[in-house]
Amino acid sequence: MQKMFICKVCGHIGKPKKKAPGNILIEVALWLLFIIPGLIFSIYRMISKKSVCAKCGSSELIPLDSPEGKKLAEKK
């Protein structure tokens, strides 16, 4: 079971989604033009995925069961 989070920006309560940095178009261009940089960029994108709010995309998430998370949930 995935932990629930609350977003500090929009107040959305739910499970976060994973987002890879960078642009998929740049990744495709690197693969088509240069094999090695494309591979490196793909690995970088896979390794550095971060959790973001499913509603607004902010990375400012707080666990719902934390004291600050409970306080934010009460305000909502």
pTM check: above 0.85:
no
Gap between the Cα atoms of 69 and 51, Å rounded = 16
Q: What is the pLDDT of residue 73?
A: 85
Gap between the Cα atoms of 16 and 53, Å rounded = 5
Gap between the Cα atoms of 65 and 52, Å rounded = 18
Inter-axis angle of helices 35-47 and 24-33, nearest 10 = 150
What are 59-71's pLDDT values in tens digits? 999 998 999 988 8
Q: What is the pLDDT of residue 75?
A: 81
Task: Work out the number of other CB atoms within 10 angstroms of the CB of residue 6.
Answer: 25
Q: DSSP class of residue 2?
A: P
What are 26-55's pLDDT values in tens digits? 999 999 988 899 999 999 999 999 999 999
